[in-house]
Amino acid sequence: MDLLSPIKDHHSERRLFIARVVLAAVVSTLLLGTVVARLVQLQVFEYEVFAAQSQGNRVRIEAMPPIRGLVFDRKGRVQAENLPAYQLELFPEQVSDIDDTLQRLANLDLIVAEDIPTYNELIDNGPRFKPVTLNFRLSEEQIANFAIQRPRFPGVDFQPRLVRHYPHGAAVAHAVGYVGGLSKSDLGRLDGSDYAGTSHTGKTGVESSFENDLHGDVGVQHVISNALGRQIPTDSREMADSLPTDESPAPGHNVYLSLDLDLQLIATRAMEGRRGAVVALDPWTGEVLALVSAPTFDPNLFALGMSTKQFSGLQNDLTQPLFNRAIRGAYPPGSTIKPMLALAALETGATNLTRKTVCRGYFMLPNTTHRYRDWKPEGHGEVDLHDALQQSCDVYFYEISIDIGIDRMHYYLDQFGLGHKSGVDISGEHAGLVPSKEWKRSAFRERTDQRWYNGETVIASIGQGYMLATPLQLAVAAGALATRGIRYEPHLVAAVEDPLTGERSLVSPNRLEDVRIDSEEHWNAIIGGMHDVMQSVRGTAWAVGGNAPYQMAGKSGTAQVYSVAQEDEYDEDEIEERLRDHALFISFAPLDNPRIAVAVVIENGSSGSRVAAPIARAIMDEYLGHGDDAP
C-alpha cells in the first residue's frame, strides 16, 4: 500500500512565524525600552549623583597637615619651634629587594640596623606606592654621603619637611614637654580626620595639654589619580581647572608660657648631677616661673625619632630622667610644714606666742619609753614658737602636735594645698597625702591597722610618716604663706595667640579659696619666724640669706629616708647615698611685697639649709635683679 506524504500547511506556518516575529519584536521593544529608560534615568534624572561619584573616583582628596604652633617663654623667647629638615624616604614599589636595601642603608649609617624590623612592618602594612620614612632628620654629612650613593638605591630619596625643635632642650623638657610619633592609643583618643597627614602629637607637658591649640586645622588638596590610586600630574590647565578648590591648613596657635628661661637655666645648672626638682611661682597670680626636674633629658630625641636602644636606655635609667619629679615626685615634706602647723596651733589654741618649752634633744609620750629625737642631739634649750621656727626645733612641734590632733592638722594643711592636686595645667600631677583618722580607716583593711596612734601624730608634725607632698605643692604652700592666705591656682600657660591675626587670649589667674586664719598677728609671727630663718644669726639658713640685699623668708626641711635605731646615731658619711635624708627648702621674697615663691627638693641631699637653700636664693636673686649678689 502506498504511503501518502502529508500536505504542507503554509497558512499555519505563516501564522506561527508571524506570532514569533511579533513576540520577538515585543520583547526587543521592551528590552530596548528598559535600556533607554535606564539611560534616561542615569543621564538625566541622576546625572548629578553619578557625575559626583565619577569625579570622586578620578579625584583623590589628600590631607595637608597644619604647621604646629610655636611655644615662647614669658619674654618671647622661643622654646619650641619648627625647623626645616630632610628626611629619608623609601618607595616600596620601586625597590626590588627591600631587605638588602635597608641593610645597605644601615651600613652607611643612614638608618639604625636595630630598627629594620620596624621599617619592614611599616612597609608591609602600607600601600606599595606610599613612601615610608626611614630617618626624620638627616645630618649634612648623611645627606652628602647619600647623594654620592644615590644611584645604588633606586626607590630611596630624601625630602624636605618641618620637624619640631627645642632650642633649649633639657632645660625645659619637663615643662614644655615633647612631641612624638602618633601611636595606636593616640589615634584612639584623637579625631582621625583632624590628624590625617600628621605624624606627631604632643606627649607630655604643655605640648600635650595644649595639643588642641598647638596642632591647628588640617587642610585638603585634590589630586587626579588612576584606578590604582597613583597620582596623575595635572599637566594641562583644563585638568587643573576641573579640580575642586583646595582648602589650606590653618596653622596652630602660638602658646606663651609664664616660665622665665633665665630662671629655668639657673635651676637646671644648679640641679646638674642631682636628683630632685625646683618650682618657682608668682604668689599673686599662680604663674609658674620655673619648673625643673632633675635629671632631665633632651626632648629633641623624641621629635626626631630615636632608636629602640636609645629609648630603652632612657626608660631603664635608674635616675629616671623621664619622671617629672616637680609634679609627680611625692616626698615627705619634713620641717617645711612647720610654718603652716604653727598657724594651726595658734588658731586652735594648741600654743601661743609666749609658751616656752625646754628642748633636751628628744620628746617622749606619757607612759612610753620611745624617744622622738630632735635633729640637734643636745637640744635647743628653752624655746618659744618664734625660736622653734627660727631654729627648726622638732621637740616644740612634737609637743604641740598632740594638742592640735591629726584631724585639725589635716584641716589646716589642706587649706594650703597639701594632700590634693593643685590643678596645674599639665597632666600627670600627684595628689600627695595629708593623713587623717578617716583616711587611715579607709586605707587599711585590718582593723588593728586602722587605728590612729599619738606617735603617728608626733612624726606627722615634722612632715614624716604617711605625709607626702610634691615640689609644686610646696611652692603653692609657700605662695599662700607669702600672700597671707590668698591662693591662686598654678598655671604654666599665660596666653594663646592666633598667628594669623596676632590676637592673644590671656589666661586669667584663678583665685582659690583663701586660707582661713583669723588673726593678722598670727601671720606676722609666723612670717617673722621664717624671715629670721634666713636673716637672723641663729636661723638655720643664715649662711645663705644673711648677706642678701633684700628681705626674704624661708624654711628648711630634712626628710628621713630610712629609720635609725634608737641607740644609733645618723652619720651621713657612713650611709649609702640613696639612703641619706632628702633636703627641702621653701622661701619667698621680698618680705613685704612678695613677688616670687620657691620650693626646692634634693633627693638624698641631707641638709635643706646647706644644699637646697642656696638654689632657692640664686633663683630669687636672678628674678629680683640681684643675680651678681648670689652666694
Question: What are the catalytic residues?
Answer: 335
Which cell numbers hold the place of 577? 647615698
The rounded distance, in Å, linking the Cα atoms of 452 and 450 is 6
Q: Single out the residue of 433, 498, 431 nearest to residue 464, CA to CA.
A: 433
CB contact set of 353 (below 8 Å; sequence gap of 6+)? 346, 384, 385, 386, 521, 525
Which cell numbers hold the place of 264? 629655668
Per-residue H/E/C for 270-318: HCCCCCEEEEEECCCCCEEEEEEEECCCCCHHHHHCCCHHHHHHHHHCC
Which cell numbers hold the place of 19? 506570532
CB 61 within 8 A of CB 220: yes
CB 427 within 8 A of CB 473: no
CA angle, 505 then 507 then 513, to 5°: 155
CB 616 within 8 A of CB 596: no
CB 204 within 8 A of CB 172: no
Q: Single out the residue of 396, 397, 341, 389 nearest to residue 539, CA to CA.
A: 389
CA angle, 578 then 580 then 585, to 5°: 110
Helical (H) or strand (E) element with 30: helix 10-40
